[in-house]
Amino acid sequence: MNLPAAAAGTASLGTLTVRRIGFGAMQLPGPGVFGPPQDRDEALAVVRRAVELGVDHIDTAQYYGPVVANELLREALSPFPDDLVLVSKVGARRDASGAWLRWNRPEDLRAGVEENLRTLGVDQLGAVNLRVMPGEAGFDEQLDAMVAMRDEGLIAGVGLSNIDLDQYRTAVARTAIACVQNPLNVVDRTSLPLLRETAERGTAFVPFFPLGSAFGGTNQVLTSPAVAAAATHLGATPAQVALAWLLDLAPTVLVIPGTSSRAHLDDNLGAGAVRLDDEARRLLESAA
């Protein structure tokens, strides 16, 4: 079988090796990442097709739904393939109305990891990202909790999300960091300095919102004239070009585009075969 996810090659995710194009489960639940999917059968089919096409890295979170994304992954794929790396995140939760709340004290982080393990039905996660939100626990205490869970074998790697450069430097001075997740795309390049430092240190960088925000409104990435021009030049789709731009930044970049549509999944995975040339890079410079 043709495996388009393999076209972009592989990279390290902590002590693990994964294909550079993965899958993000954020769009599997209902609107606003809350409640059941609008089409459950399609959501399950998307997950199964992603793995069939070579995806071996899936990013999820207990608070996607909440619980919904994890339960869909378990229903679609359990027992999970031996080579599938499941990555989650902790530090937040949802209330009954769907609001996003802090849940980031050390005991909260442990409870979040345990809930992920229970709802996915696994004994260990490939990595868990500490999503940094201001308030309550200090960063050092949060990091201590994550390291303790790694040492206990609940998680294989400690990741960080929504951090700044100083927090990354503090963390890598204390322990091995498997990955960093921050917003980054061809339009929003705020995290480029952080990406550069993670690349120098060999830490995987996993951009979230690689194709623009998943929360409605005008998508500044997929409607960008610069992205459209580069897509025409390369004979690719705007989504493929936007993902190829990220993959082109450094060999340590892993992308996890999410979708609840098999057609969009196929399109996203095709980005691995897109190679930017100098003209495409020139066109995309004006997207920022």
Residues tagged active-site: 64
Question: Which DSSP helix (H) or strand (E) runs through 23?
Answer: strand 23-24
Q: Which residues contact 254 (CB under 8 A, 6 or more apart)?
A: 11, 13, 18, 20, 21, 22, 57, 179, 204, 205, 206
Total length of the chain: 288
